[in-house]
Amino acid sequence: MHDEFAKIGWLKARFELDGDSKKVVVGIGDDAAVIDFGNRPTIITVDTQVEGVHFRPDLISCRDLGYRAMVAAVSDIWAMAATPSASVVALTLDSDFPDEQFRELIEGLAEAARKTGAQVVGGNLSQGSSLSVTTTVFGLPIGKSVTRNGARPGDSVYVTGTLGSAALGLAILQTSESELAHAASFVERWRRPPTHGHVAKAMAALATAAVDVSDGCLQDLTHVCAASGVGATLHADAIPTAPGYETTCKVLDIDPIALALTGGEDYELIFTAPKCPEAAALGTKIGVVTEGSVVRVVDQAGEAIALDQTGFRHFS
Helix (H, G, I), strand (E, B) or coil at 44: strand
pLDDT by position in tens, the chain (length 316)? 677 768 878 777 777 766 556 788 888 887 898 998 878 899 999 999 999 989 999 999 999 999 999 999 999 999 999 999 999 999 999 999 999 999 999 999 999 999 999 999 999 999 999 999 999 999 999 988 999 999 999 999 999 999 999 999 999 999 977 678 789 999 999 999 999 999 999 999 999 999 999 999 999 999 999 999 999 999 999 999 999 999 999 999 999 999 999 999 999 999 999 999 999 999 999 999 999 999 999 999 999 998 877 665 554 6
Which residue, among 197, 183, 237, 239, has the nearest Cα to 216 in the 3D structure?
A: 239
Identify the pLDDT of residue 20: 58
Domains in the chain, please, with CATH? 14-141 (3.30.1330.10), 156-298 (3.90.650.10)
Label residue 181 left, alpha or beta by phi (over 0 means left) and psi (-120 to 50 means alpha). alpha
CB 8 within 8 A of CB 29: yes
Beta bridge mates, 133: 49, 91
Identify the pLDDT of residue 10: 79
Q: Looking at the whole model, is its pTM more than 0.85?
A: yes
